[in-house]
Chain A
Amino acid sequence: MMATPSALATTTADLLLVLLIVVPVAGVLLAFALGDRYVRRVAFTVIPVGLAISGGVLLALPQNDGHLVYLLGAWPPPLGVALRADGLSAVMLAATAIVVCAVAIFAAADFRLAAGYGRAPFAFWILLLAVWAALNTIFVGGDLFTLYVALELLTFAAVPLVSLEGRAETLQAALRYLLFALVGSVLYLMGTALLYGLYGTLDIVLLSHRVSAEPGALIAAALMTTGLLAKTALFPLHLWLPPAHAGAPAAASAILSGLVVKGSFFILLRVWFNVLPGVPGFAAAQFLAALGAGAIVVGSIVALRQQRLKLLVAYSTMAQIGYLFLLFPLALDASGRLETGQALAGGLIQAISHAAAKAAMFLAVGSIYAGLGHDRITGIRGAARALPLSVMTFGLAGFALMGIQPSGASLAKELLLQETARTGQWWWAGVLQVGGMFTAAYVVLVLAHALSPSDQPVALVAKPPRGSGLAALALALCSLLLGLLPWEPYLPITYTVESKLFGDEALVKFLVTVFGGAALAILLSPWPHPLAFSAAGKTIMQLIAPLRRTCIGLGSLVETGDGVLRQWSTASISLLLVALLLAALMFAAN
């Protein structure tokens, strides 16, 4: 993204950028034209090709000084539109390709053409390819309006995935999602109109040279940021996320939670770091991270109070989205300018780690649901024996999310912690640690129920296909091993991270996180656990009973507050408030 647009000689590697968009789009068109019987076959032809192209970008990038540029129609910006890839794009492209692959393998059994019912497979495979096309465009788009069209493409692909089952509440969830997302894109579009009026271009690189912190640009920045926050479902703009992500079929939830919310988040990174790094300033960055901290606390507490596993995982997504926003204040340099440095790298690794882990988690929960016929947390005793693969996948993905070494989340946390020390913002170090503990809380809660033995043998409604289970497990393992990959060629990592796999320090960190999480789970989850009825359990529960009552009371208060915030009028008022506050903070900083 840093390279200035010039009539660089186009190489074969640059051509990959075009193919990234063309191949999935061609898949969408072909699948649509050929119809029900061939959609799945088209998808499984396109997916390996797309995977190879994303891999190609990953390989080609270091040989091209870390930048690929393609001028569409050979028209240089500002008149034309450029596609550009940098290290950030490359890793996101690769992560997306892998998650899409795994989800497709998982869904191969669910969305096949069963006797006459072609509707769901037809929609699912086309929408899957469309999500991929949209995300690839977002990762390599070099023009703010192209990014807008890609963002809309993503929304149009995501909304029908929510209502694939056609039940009334999923229809309602889809409608809420669509309307709120549309308001978000309109706010984004307002900002782009102002930027064009000020600078006469929407090309990201050209804008980065022209933008200065003048009033019009500040208003544009506030509007665009708010619009993207609404699409990313950052607290308190998360009204649409829990019902939409929990109501969709498992494979669709995995795509929505793992990938779709990352699209608008990535555009936000482009806007803040590439278009106007000098504009937002200290206060606005702190504000975003504060909303993120709010998301972690509220999302995790409400997750612990859910009766249904899918809703628990959906609220966990809300909390994890908050985690991503901690990178903004940590990326500020001494003059209040955003620096493309280690904080950005950490945040992006966290996003990728979450993409893989959360997709795996939703797939595992989907298998548990299909196997048991329900997903009530208090009713999954004995699941570990009946569905070992799914419970193991859930556990591994959970460990990856809470930052156990060598997961991507642990590397991300390490990088962000180093930045808190470097910039002297110790308060975010606390949030980072508490965030990991909260994640551990709901993972431990689910595992404690699933691992405890059942009195009577568990009757399985259906046996999940082995291929599906293995695909989910592979994703969880990916997330768990992300910390071992060489990120340096792609992301600005300056410090060397010592990752001692089995050192004392790692063990202590692991134990602190898990036990802290277990304590939080006991204190905040209102559901009785079978272990609490053993003799030792009873004594402990009696000792902490007053504290637990207080905590559960607090939790129920938070849940009520969340319910209020998720009402349409409250959420949209919050949206406008966030926009105005961001604008005010940016004005104050400049």
Chain B
Amino acid sequence: MSSVSVFGLCAAAAVGLGLYGLITNPQSLRKILAFNLLGSGVFLLFGIVGRRGAAAGVGNDPVPQALVITGVVVAFSATAMAIALLLRLFHTSGSTTLGSRAPTSSRSDAPGG
């Protein structure tokens, strides 16, 4: 088995595990963890594609590598923003889960309603 196949299956499994965790875990923080797992699986997918495209003395096609670097940064920003939202939610309401109810009450001094 080539390294591409080994890590390819690993990437697919990470994606599957990430999806499962996202669906079934009630804690928002665990969902964020699962999202990161899912993301790393997808990035590995790019890595495999790049590895297959090794040529001209470069061991891994630099274009997918660059795409992954951009993707990692975006995923990190997303994680940081999600965590900030989660901490603020916990601070405001003491809850850390994603209830499905639509907003019912509202503050009257809100700008523009």
Residues of A at under 8 Å CB distance from B? 79, 107, 110-111, 120, 145, 149, 152, 156, 159-160, 163, 165-176, 178-179, 182-183, 186, 189-190, 193-194, 196-197, 200, 239, 242-243, 246-247, 249-251, 308, 310-311, 314, 365-370, 373-375, 461, 563, 566-569, 572-573, 576
Choose among B38, B89, B105 the residue that contacts A171 (Cβ–Cβ < 8 A): B89
Given A308-B104, A566-B100: A179 and B39 interface contact (C-beta under 8 Å): no
Extra A-B contacts (18), CB below 8 Å, given A190-B42, A365-B113, A568-B23:
A79-B63, A152-B74, A156-B77, A166-B92, A167-B103, A171-B89, A172-B98, A179-B98, A182-B78, A190-B15, A239-B100, A249-B111, A369-B112, A461-B108, A566-B100, A569-B23, A572-B19, A572-B22
Which residues of chain A are near B86, meaning CB under 8 Å? 175
Choose among B28, B78, B93, B107 the residue that contacts A165 (Cβ–Cβ < 8 A): B107
Shortest Cβ distance from residue A206 to the other chain B in the assembled complex, whole angstroms: 13
Shortest Cβ distance from residue B110 to the other chain A in the assembled complex, whole angstroms: 5
Question: Using an 8 Å CB-CB cutoff, how does the interface string of B50-92 with A read, 1 for contact, 0 for none?
Answer: 0011000000000110010011001001100110011011001
Q: Whole-angstrom distance between the alpha carbons of A373 and B109 in the complex?
A: 9
Which residues of chain B are near A79, meaning CB under 8 Å? 63
Q: Whole-angstrom distance between the alpha carbons of A265 and B65 in the complex?
A: 28
Q: Whole-angstrom distance between the alpha carbons of A302 and B69 in the complex?
A: 43
Instruction: Pull 8 A–B residue pairs with CB atoms less than 8 Å apart, ordered by A.
Output: A165-B110, A169-B101, A169-B102, A171-B85, A171-B92, A179-B98, A189-B71, A366-B113
Q: Whole-angstrom distance between the alpha carbons of A172 and B31 in the complex?
A: 14
Given A186-B42, A193-B45, A572-B22: A156 and B81 interface contact (C-beta under 8 Å): yes
Consensus secondary structure, chain B interface:
helix
Which residues of chain B are near A247, meaning CB under 8 Å? 103
Q: Whole-angstrom distance between the alpha carbons of A111 and B110 in the complex?
A: 11
Contact A178 B112 (CB under 8 A): no
Contact B107 A167 (CB under 8 A): yes
Q: Whole-angstrom distance between the alpha carbons of A373 and B112 in the complex?
A: 10
* Interface hub of B22, B104, B110 (most chain A Cβ within 10 A): B110
Shortest Cβ distance from residue B55 to the other chain A in the assembled complex, whole angstroms: 11
Contact B82 A111 (CB under 8 A): no
Choose among A145, A308, A370 the residue that contacts B67 (Cβ–Cβ < 8 A): A145
Which residues of chain B are near A569, meaning CB under 8 Å? 23-24
Answer yes or no: B49 CB below 8 A from chain A CBs.
yes
Q: Whole-angstrom distance between the alpha carbons of A145 and B105 in the complex?
A: 40
Name the CB-closest residue of A to B46.
Answer: A193
Choose among A166, A175, A242, A461 the residue that contacts B28 (Cβ–Cβ < 8 A): A175
Contact A375 B35 (CB under 8 A): no
Name the CB-closest residue of B to A124.
Answer: B111
Which residues of chain A are near B45, meaning CB under 8 Å? 190, 193-194, 197
Name the CB-closest residue of A to B19.
Answer: A576
Choose among A178, A200, A576 the residue that contacts B53 (Cβ–Cβ < 8 A): A200
Which residues of chain A are near B23, meaning CB under 8 Å? 568-569, 572-573, 576
Which residues of chain A are near B104, meaning CB under 8 Å? 169, 308
Which residues of chain B are near A172, meaning CB under 8 Å? 89, 93, 95, 98-99
Given A120-B111, A196-B64, A370-B113: A242 and B102 interface contact (C-beta under 8 Å): yes
Contact B107 A110 (CB under 8 A): no
Shortest Cβ distance from residue A379 to the other chain B in the assembled complex, whole angstroms: 13
Contact A193 B70 (CB under 8 A): no
Q: Whole-angstrom distance between the alpha carbons of A249 and B113 in the complex?
A: 6
Shortest Cβ distance from residue A519 to the other chain B in the assembled complex, whole angstroms: 27
CB proximity to A under 8 Å, residues B19-38: 19, 22-24, 28, 31-32, 35, 38
